[in-house]
Amino acid sequence: MDRIRALVLAGVCGAALAACGGSNGTPSAEPDGGARKTPKSVLEQSAFASCADFKAYYANALAEEYFSGYAYNRNCFGCDPATLESVEFAQGDAVAAPSTPQDAPQREVTQTNTQEAGVDEADLIEASPDGQYLYVLRRESRELLVVDTGNLDDLQILTRISLSDSKQPTGMFLDSQTQRLVVLLTPDYVYYLHAPAVSDAGFADAAKSSIAPAYFEQATDVQFYDVSDPATPVLLETLSMDGQYLDARRIDDRVHLITQFGFPYPAALYNDATFNKLAYEDYPSAYADGDQARMDALTTDIRAHIESAVNALDVSALLPRLGTVASGQQTLACDHIQRPAISTRMGLLMISSINTDGSALSTLGTINNAWQLYASTNALYLSQHSGGWWFDPEQTQQTAIYRYDISSGSAIPDGLGVIDGWFGNRYQMSEFENHLRVVATEARPADEPGAAWVNHHHLSILSATSMALTGMVEDFVDVNEKPRETIRAARFVGDNAYVVTFEQIDPLFTFDLSDPTQPEKKGELEIPGFSTYMHPLGTDHLLTIGRNAGEGGIGTGRGFHLQIFDVSDLSAPQVIASSEPELDENDYAFSLAEHDPHAFTYSEVPILLSQNDQDGLLSLPVQIGSPAPERSLSGFMAMRIGINGSAGSIEEYARIDHKDSGEGDQGCPSDADELPPEGCNGFAPIIYNQPLRSVIINEQGPLLSSTSVLTLSSSYLKSLDASGDSPAERDSLDLRP
């Protein structure tokens, strides 16, 4: 592998896999046709017996960084860019308003689009169940805003709360039952999200400390507010922790937070000239010469230097600290950390569970390079690709899926499953009726030397109790006809599954999973382009967003593409409606909802179109760049969605523009260096006043029903009356201080 290819692969692995490293030691499994699989037994985890046990494990893992080659060229054997497609998609849930007097309108308000019912995901906007109040996070000004939406013709900011001087809000949870709001804060710059597990970030002043401070120190804060009086939220507690925020879920009044911590690098090694010569000059030279005897001798010397530096440190200097204001900061205990038997890169994940009022914190650590979380109402699943546990040119692509029982409110290790292949996002996992279903792609070298990799796609079903494989559909894409297809979207709906792959044509695959021991591929539909998100409309239809094919069927089009699929007959899925924004040849349209699961907002609105209960309203953030100002848009598009059996319709209903008006109606920012015609052309809206989220409110009264769409950008909250055939603007609220 030449150096350029090695660096390219390393970049892909670092961004998409969270770590691509490990040991170059001999695997426990015998080669199978030139490829090795890691047995499940060595991936299973157990707690460190003592801090001495932890330090020994740490020293060995750090040494393997050098012997595996990771410390030199950031190599990543076996990684293939074409297999690392990562797309996010989501499902929205409408939450019914609480009971109200018969003579008052009843409101139904859309909430955060979540993957699973009952499992909340952090978002930038939260609505009270009655739609009376919106809680809005503004990243630009590091603020929490509370907006009174009781009168949709007169939106009012009740309060602004400054959240942090050094961290940005990244999401929040609203626990409406206890009237608590939980705000997540992370650094302006992500120093450690998919970085090497052992920090090589450099040090401020190594001479002042036996171990240098890492950039990810105290990286994550969580603030807990009482919002029983929305006009005056009260800060109850703050949780601070070393480590970078990865993901979180809320289930009832318990938040489960996943953070990554990079173990600090002993400063003594930076100052050890002998060690640096051994590790960075002598060993690479012996490796290049293929001098195994010299490599073995140098390995002993390098290990001795590392062990000496690690043993000289107090263990607290290597471990993260976390705690609330009430409890104080505590170092994570060694025996609260799980580790696998196999040598792995030293990435530490912390699963911290805490009540929505900031009480009852519990934390479990795991030596794990997982970067992806999936959650059901009673379990968390962390997935780690095989690139994260060792370097081995003959290692096949596998994924270890660790299950944690959270039914007691804290994460308890509860099993491990291993499948063939890797997958790019959490929507390729789903738990249903005590089974975990997973769609993955396994890239294998082609049979012919020098030929490209071949992608093999599998659907696996595991028992959620034992995490053992119960059933599988192997190679559901014909590798002889389509060796380079990549998965772009997946969706599990009850006993059914839907998968979209793409290279030049978009096949939609349908599966019957009613028998978890005998899952079956039922149908396949080929159409140009691909979908990135599939939203179930009942049990018989899917509403999707993605991209159409480009001119001549090559590449992708210039606008996003909406489609409705009839999947009532799994063996014969059909497209019954499709729509794209009208664009001129130099225009380009993008929607955040193509990749952000929380930007897709759908609500059933039966009053809109007909008597069909499936008629609804879809609101999407949309940015259209155009050299013609009148065609540019930085705002939202509302679409009417209609279904009548095997017929469907997608009709544009309204556009809500959020860009500022400037000279010549070019929509230039107020601080633009040059105004038209010299500067700020029609593409300017793409980069400011970013459209973010929508909330749809349906009011049902004794005499009148109405539908309103609230749209949020980085600068405005706008209200639109969507009750009739013609939309009407209600109010626009500037959110900027």
- Which has the closest alpha carbon to 88: 367, 372, 354? 372
pLDDT at 461 over 80: yes
* Residues 95, 215: Cα–Cα separation, whole Å: 40
Q: At what angle do helices 51-67 and 292-311 cross, to 10 degrees?
A: 140
Contact (CB, 8 A) for 577 and 618 = no
What pLDDT, on a 0 to 100 scale, did the predictor assign at position 391?
Answer: 56
Residue 277 structure tokens: 């010569």
What average pLDDT does the segment 329-338 reach? 95
- pLDDT, residue 628, reads 78
The pLDDT of residue 100 is above 70: no
Dmax (CA) of the chain: 89
Burial track 559-572 (b if 16+ CB lie within 10 A, e otherwise): bbbbbbbbbeebee
Residue with tokens 């309103």: 708
Where is pLDDT greater, at 199 or 435? 435
How high is the pLDDT of residue 32?
36
- Model pLDDT for residues 217-231, shown as the tens digit of each residue: 568 999 999 999 999
Residue 540 is classified by DSSP as T
Q: Is the pLDDT of residue 27 over 80?
A: no
- Amino acid 528: pLDDT: 85
Looking at every residue in the chain, the average pLDDT score rounds to 82
Name the residue among 164, 165, 171, 170 with its Cα closest to residue 235. Answer: 164
Whether the pLDDT of residue 644 is over 80: the answer is yes
> Which pairs from 77-80 meet CB under 8 Å and 24+ separation?
77/1, 77/391, 77/392, 77/393, 77/395, 78/386, 78/387, 78/392, 78/393, 78/395, 78/396, 78/397, 79/9, 79/10, 79/12, 79/13, 79/17, 79/20, 79/387, 80/9, 80/443, 80/453
Report how far residue 489's alpha carbon sits from residue 87's, in angstroms, rounded to the nearest whole number: 7
Cβ neighbourhood burial of 270 (10 Å; 0-12, 13-18, 19+): middle
pLDDT at 217: 57
Q: Is the pLDDT at 723 greater than 60, yes or no?
A: yes
> What number of CA atoms fall less than 13 Å from residue 433's CA on the CB side?
10
Report d(CA 271, CA 83) in Å as an integer: 40
The Cα–Cα gap between 719 and 704 comes to 19
In the predicted model, is pLDDT for residue 75 greater than 80? no
pLDDT at 143: 96
HEC letters along 187-224: ECCCCCCCCCCECCCCCCCHHHCCECCCCCCCCEEEEE
42, burial (CB in 10 Å: exposed 0-12, middle 13-18, buried 19+): middle
Report whether 600 contacts 491 (CB < 8 A). Answer: no
Supply the pLDDT for residue 594: 95
> How large a percentage of the chain has pLDDT more than 70?
79
Q: Strand pairing of 337-340 and 362-367?
A: parallel
Please, which pLDDT band fits residue 451 given cuts at 50, 70 and 90?
low
Q: List, in sequence order, the alpha helices (H) in 312-344.
A: none
Any residues with CB less than 8 A from the CB of 101 and at least 6 apart, and which?
none
Query: 44 pLDDT exceeds 90?
Result: yes
Lowest mean pLDDT among 9-13, 254-258, 553-557, 618-622: 9-13
- List Cβ neighbours of 192 (8 Å cut-off, separation of 6 or more): 199, 214, 215, 216, 219, 243, 244, 260, 261, 262
User: Between 22 and 345, whose confidence is greater?
Assistant: 345
Mean pLDDT along residues 685-708? 81
> What average pLDDT score do residues 37-60 get?
93
Q: What pLDDT was estimated at residue 298?
A: 95
Cβ neighbours of 535 (radius 10 Å): 23
Is 50 exceeded by the pLDDT of residue 690? yes
Tens digit of pLDDT for each residue in 156-200? Answer: 999 999 999 889 999 999 999 999 999 999 987 654 433 334 444
What sign for the dihedral angle of Cα 433, 439, 444, 447?
A: positive
Measured CA angle at 677 (ends 671, 681), to 5 deg: 65
What is the DSSP secondary structure assignment for residue 390, as one 8-state letter?
A: B
Distance between CA 163 and CA 322 in Å, rounded? 19
Cβ distance 123 to 712 under 8 Å?
no
Q: Would the pLDDT of 717 be above 50?
A: yes
pLDDT, residue 630, reads 78
> Is the N-terminal amide bond of 677 cis, ω within 30° of 0?
yes
Q: Please give the backbone phi and psi of residue 509, each rounded to the nearest 5 degrees, phi first.
A: -100, 140
- Chain centroid to CA 283: 39
For residue 212, what are the contacts with CB-CB under 8 A and spacing of at least 6?
202, 203, 204, 205, 206, 264, 265, 267, 270
For position 671, what pLDDT does the model report?
Answer: 53
pTM of the model: 0.87
Gyration radius of the chain over CA positions: 27
- Compute the 3-state secondary structure of the chain and give helix, strand, coil in percent, each to the nearest 5: 15, 45, 40
pLDDT at position 9 is 26
Q: Report d(CA 686, CA 634) in Å as an integer.
A: 6
pLDDT given at position 556? 76
- Give the DSSP letter of residue 281: I
* Closest-CA residue to 124 (of 143, 105, 108, 109): 143
Mapping DSSP to helix (H, G, I), strand (E, B) and coil, where does residue 149 land?
A: coil
Nearest C-alpha neighbor of 350 from the set 325, 328, 321, 316: 321
**Lowest pLDDT segment from 253-262, 372-381, 543-552:** 543-552
pLDDT at 471 over 90: yes
260-317 per-position pLDDT tens digit: 988 888 889 988 999 999 998 999 899 889 999 999 999 999 999 999 999 999 999 9
Angle at 443 between CA 438 and CA 444, to 5 degrees: 130
Please provide the DSSP assignment of 558-619 as one string.
EEEEEEEEE-SSTTS-EEEEEE-----TT-EEEEGGGT-TTS-EEEE-TTSSSS-TT-EEEE
Which stretches does DSSP call E strand in 386-475?
Answer: 398-405, 412-420, 429-432, 435-444, 454-463, 469-473
pLDDT value of residue 371: 86
The pLDDT value given to residue 358? 97
In this prediction, residues 73-98 reach a mean pLDDT of: 33
pLDDT band at 101 (very low <50, low <70, confident <90, very high): very low
Distances (CA, A) of 669 to 234, 432, 677: 35, 49, 14
